[in-house]
Structure 1
Amino acid sequence: MDKIATPKRTKELISKYNFYFSKGLGQNFIIDQNILNKITSAVKITKDTEVLEVGPGIGSLTQSLAEAARRVVAVEIDQKLIPILKESLADYENVEVINKDILKVDLHKLLEEKFEGKEIVVVGNLPYYITTPIIMKFLEEKVPITAIVIMIQKEVADRMKAKAGTKDYGALSIAVQYYCDIENVMIVPPSVFIPQPKVDSSVIRLQLLEEPRVKVKREDLFFKVVKDAFGKRRKTLLNALSSGELGLSKELVRRILESCGINEMRRGETLSIEEFANLSNLLAEEL
C-alpha cells in the first residue's frame, strides 16, 4: 500500500474530506516516512507486540506500526478524522480505531477488552497541550504496559529527563523517573509536519520499571512532598514544605530534614529522587 506519510498523500486526504486542523486539539501530521520508521524501530516490536496508539491523526504512524506489530488499537478523539482513517487504513485487518478521548477512557477496561495479554506498548504523537496528563494517566493508573514511545515537545522531554540541580529538573522529572527509564530516540524538526509547529519535538522511550525506582511507604505522601518542594522554586525546603498543601509545621519540617541529613536551606531542585523518598518515608512515620 502507498505510504500515507508523504506531502502529496497527506494533502490528498485532507482535501478529499475537507478536513480543517484544530488548534485546540494540537494537530500536526507527519509527512516524513523516515521519522516514522525510526519511531517504529524504537518501539522494539516483536511478533507478540500489541500497540495502543494515542492520536493516530490520518494514520501515518498507524500504518508503520500495523506493518510490524501483531495488532494496533488506535484511540482518536476527533470525529472528523474517523472517515479518513477508515480509508487510509482499510487494508490493515490488524488495526482497530476507537473514537474516544483517551483521558476519559477506563484504561484497565480497554486493555482487558481489546488485548489478549500480550506485550503492550503505548505509542503516540501527543498534542503538546495535554502531553503530561496523558503520560501521567498511563503511569499512575498502573496499567499492564511495558513501554511508552511518544513524540512530544522537546522542552517537555528535557524536563522529563532532567537530573537534580539542573534548570529543567522539577516535579515532572521525578514523577516520570519514579516509574520509568528514559531513552532519547531523536529530535524532530518542525519541517516534517503539516502544519509546522513552532518548536522542535523529541521522540522518547519510557521503559516501565518492574518496581518504582525508590521504595516509599506512602506514594501519595511522596508526591505531595515533591509537589510542595517545587511549588515555589525560590523558597528553601524549610519554607516550601512548611507553607505547602501538606500544612506541616516548621518544627516538624526542621526535625525531619535534620534526620535525613538535608540542610534546611537547600531548595527542592537540588534533591535527588532518593532524598525525596527518604524524606517522605521519615515524614510518614510522623503523620
Structure 2
Amino acid sequence: MASRPQGHRARKRFGQNFLRDPGIISRLVRAIGARPGERLVEIGPGQGALTEPLLEAAGGHLEVIELDRDLIPGLRVQFFDQPGFVIHEGDALKVDFRALRGDGPPLRVVGSLPYNISTPLIGHLLEAGDAVADMHFMLQKEVVERLAAPPGGADRGRLSVLAQYHCRVESLFTVPPEAFVPRPKVESAIVRLTPHASLPQTARDEALLFQVVREAFAQRRKTLRNNLKGRLAAGDLEALGIDPGRRPQTLTVEEFVRIANHLSAEGEAP
C-alpha cells in the first residue's frame, strides 16, 4: 500500500496500484489499531503512504517486506531517521514467518495483495500458526467476499472454508478504484483475519479435511452425493446428519470437519 513514488512506474508483474487517498489510509490505520510494543509487518510498502502512519502508531517500530528492489532505496531515504524501521527485501511467499517472529510477540501483518498472490500468501501465513496475531489485507473485493461468504452464499467456496476454519473473518470496508494510481478496473476491500486462539472445530487430519473440501467443490453445481462418491456413500453422509443432496456451498465448517473426521476414523480402524 503506497502513494505513487516519484519517477517510479507501477509494474504489472508486481500487481502494483499505489494507494493515495488520505481518507482511506487514515481509516485503514484506525481499523488496524497498532500500538507501541507490537510486532507490525507490512507487506508491499511501496513508497510508504501507509508505512508512515503505521510507524507512528506502532511507536516507531515497523518491519516491511518489499519485492520491488527499485522501491527500496526510496524507503531507506524516507525513513533513514527511524531506527525501528526494518526492511526485508524479497518475496513474502518465501518468508518464514515463524522464524521472523522468533521469541517476540506474534506478528500483526498488513498488506495490499495483488490478486495472483492473495490466496497462496494467506495460506502461507495461516501455516505460520500462532506466529501471526492477525492480518489486515487490501484485496480485490471479490476475494474478500469469498473469504467472508457464509454457508449458502453464492461466493462460498474452498477459500471460504479454509479461511473460516483457521480464522474469524471480517469484511471491513470497500475501497473505490479512484483511491489508487494507476486506477484499477475493480473495487478493493479491506478484510481482517484473526486466527482462532483455539479452533472451534478441530480436524484430526487437516490435510484430509482440505482434500475433502477440494473434492466437494470440484463441481459446485453438483451435490455432495456426486462430488464425494469416491470418498463415502450417501448413507454415510446421512448417518453423519448431512443430506447427500445438498450442494457444497451450503455446508458449514463444522460439517466439513465432521465428514473429514469420520473418514480419518475409518482410515485408522483395524
Instruction: Kindly indicate whether the alpha-carbon contact (under 8 Å) linking 2:34 and 2:57 is maintained by their aligned counterparts in 1.
Output: yes
The residue that corresponds to 2:18 in the other structure is: 29
The answer to whether residue 50 in structure 2 is matched with residue 61 in structure 1 is yes
TM-score (norm 1): 0.88
- Structure 1 stretches lacking a partner, 5+ long: none
Within 5 A, what are the aligned runs for 1:1-287? 5=3, 10=4, 13-15=5-7, 19-70=8-59, 71-112=61-102, 117-242=104-229, 247-248=230-231, 252-287=232-267
C-alpha distance after superposition, 1:30-72 (max 9, x if no partner)? 1112211211111222222121111111111111110111421
State how far apart, in whole Å, the 2-side matches of 1:60 and 1:269 are: 39
C-alpha distance after superposition, 1:135-156 (max 9, x if no partner)? 1110123141211011111000
Instruction: Kindly indicate whether the alpha-carbon contact (under 8 Å) linking 2:63 and 2:88 is maintained by their aligned counterparts in 1.
Output: yes
Counterpart of 2:79, as a letter, is: L
Deviation of the 1:26 alpha carbon: 0.4
State how far apart, in whole Å, the 1-side matches of 2:79 and 2:178 are: 25
Q: Matched residue of 2:71: which SS?
A: helix
Instruction: Kindly indicate whether the alpha-carbon contact (under 8 Å) linking 1:146 and 1:207 is maintained by their aligned counterparts in 2.
Output: yes
Counterpart of 2:82, as a letter, is: Y
Counterpart of 1:79, as a letter, is: R
Instruction: Kindly indicate whether the alpha-carbon contact (under 8 Å) linking 1:217 and 1:284 is maintained by their aligned counterparts in 2.
Output: yes
Q: Matched residue of 1:135: which SS?
A: helix
Instruction: Kindly indicate whether the alpha-carbon contact (under 8 Å) linking 2:203 and 2:260 is maintained by their aligned counterparts in 1.
Output: yes
Q: How many residues align?
A: 265
The alignment-based identity, stated in percent, is 38
Instruction: Kindly indicate whether the alpha-carbon contact (under 8 Å) linking 2:145 and 2:171 is maintained by their aligned counterparts in 1.
Output: no
Deviation of the 1:169 alpha carbon: 0.5
Deviation of the 1:159 alpha carbon: 0.5
State how far apart, in whole Å, the 2-side matches of 1:81 and 1:235 are: 47
Counterpart of 2:171, as a letter, is: N
Instruction: Kindly indicate whether the alpha-carbon contact (under 8 Å) linking 1:179 and 1:211 is maintained by their aligned counterparts in 2.
Output: no
Deviation of the 1:93 alpha carbon: 2.3
Q: Matched residue of 1:46: which SS?
A: coil
C-alpha distance after superposition, 1:102-149 (max 9, x if no partner)? 11122222222xxx5135200011112211111111012314121101
Deviation of the 1:164 alpha carbon: 0.9
- Structure 2 stretches lacking a partner, 5+ long: none
Counterpart of 2:125, as a letter, is: F
Per mean C-alpha deviation after superposition, the further-off stretch among 152-161 and 140-149 is 140-149
State how far apart, in whole Å, the 1-side matches of 2:170 and 2:235 are: 38
State how far apart, in whole Å, the 1-side matches of 2:76 and 2:85 are: 10
Deviation of the 1:261 alpha carbon: 1.8
State how far apart, in whole Å, the 2-side matches of 1:87 and 1:253 are: 63
Instruction: Kindly indicate whether the alpha-carbon contact (under 8 Å) linking 1:120 and 1:146 is maintained by their aligned counterparts in 2.
Output: yes
Q: Structure 1 residues 187, 26: CA separation in 2 closer, same or farther (over 3 Å shift)? A: same
TM-score (norm 2): 0.93
Counterpart of 2:67, as a letter, is: I
